[in-house]
């Protein structure tokens, strides 16, 4: 049995306003530290006893973004003796893109400032990943990275001489690092 509606129906228009907020999420261990160990074997001859560990991170966003790297302090501090200090520019870094967003220059999804060079760690906020012309918004599979640390004295005897004054006979050094994610206000500025 089929019933029909006999009441008069008139269509109603309903207006809805929605304000969508951009979402930016950085997926990384919040207690980010760089740690390395050095042992003096002979006078001015040093051996690395612990290399800094790489950092895996990803970005999830509904808007375009930039990422900056900085150290919290200007010096690595000795673990055994906090009076032992080494400037943070002793360590450099590169960022490897593992995601599907392409990081091959300003005409791609992401402009990676470390693509072909190693940047020195600094207490100043250094913008390292920025939005490219193809936009870098996306999920963690699209924006997945590894931050690789590099001791900058390796293969550079002149630079090593500058740092040898800081080394102790056997010490581990640490510094806290910040990754800062910010929204890009211009969609295709590059």
pLDDT per residue over 157-176, tens digit each?
A: 555 666 666 666 789 999 99
In which domain, by residue range, is 55 found? 24-183
Number of domain units in the chain: 1
pLDDT for residue 40: 79
Distance CA 99, CA 181 (A): 17
- Asked if the structure places residue 16 within a domain, the reply is no
- CA–chain centroid gap for 25, Å, is 12
- Asked if the structure places residue 65 within a domain, the reply is yes
CATH number at residue 59: 2.60.120
**Mean per-residue pLDDT, 58-75:** 96
Q: What percent of the chain has pLDDT over 90?
A: 56
**Mean per-residue pLDDT, 36-59:** 87
- Asked if the structure places residue 102 within a domain, the reply is yes
pLDDT digits (tens, 9 = 90+) for 101-139: 988 877 899 999 999 899 999 999 999 999 988 899 999
β-pair partners for 65: 183
- Asked if the structure places residue 163 within a domain, the reply is yes
- Asked if the structure places residue 128 within a domain, the reply is yes
- Whether the per-residue pLDDT at 187 is higher than 90: the answer is no
Collapsing DSSP states into helix, strand and coil, what is residue 162? helix
């Amino acid at each position: 049995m089929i019933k029909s509606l006999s009441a008069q129906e008139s269509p109603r228009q309903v207006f809805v306003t929605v304000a969508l907020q951009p979402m930016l999420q950085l997926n990384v261990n919040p207690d980010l530290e760089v740690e390395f160990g050095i042992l003096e074997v002979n006078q001015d001859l040093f051996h690395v006893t612990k290399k800094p560990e790489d950092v895996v991170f990803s970005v999830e966003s509904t808007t375009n973004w930039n990422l900056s790297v900085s150290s919290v302090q200007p010096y690595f501090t000795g673990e055994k003796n906090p009076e032992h200090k080494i400037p943070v520019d002793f360590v450099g870094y590169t960022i490897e893109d593992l995601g599907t967003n392409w990081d091959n220059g300003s005409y791609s999804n992401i402009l990676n400032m470390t693509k072909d060079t190693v940047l020195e760690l600094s207490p100043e906020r250094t913008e390292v990943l920025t939005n490219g012309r193809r936009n870098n918004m996306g999920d963690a599979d699209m924006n997945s990275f590894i931050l690789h640390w590099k001791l900058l004295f390796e293969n550079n005897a002149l630079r090593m001489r500058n740092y040898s004054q800081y080394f102790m006979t056997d010490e581990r050094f640490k510094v806290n690092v910040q990754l800062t994610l910010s929204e890009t206000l211009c969609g295709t500025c590059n």
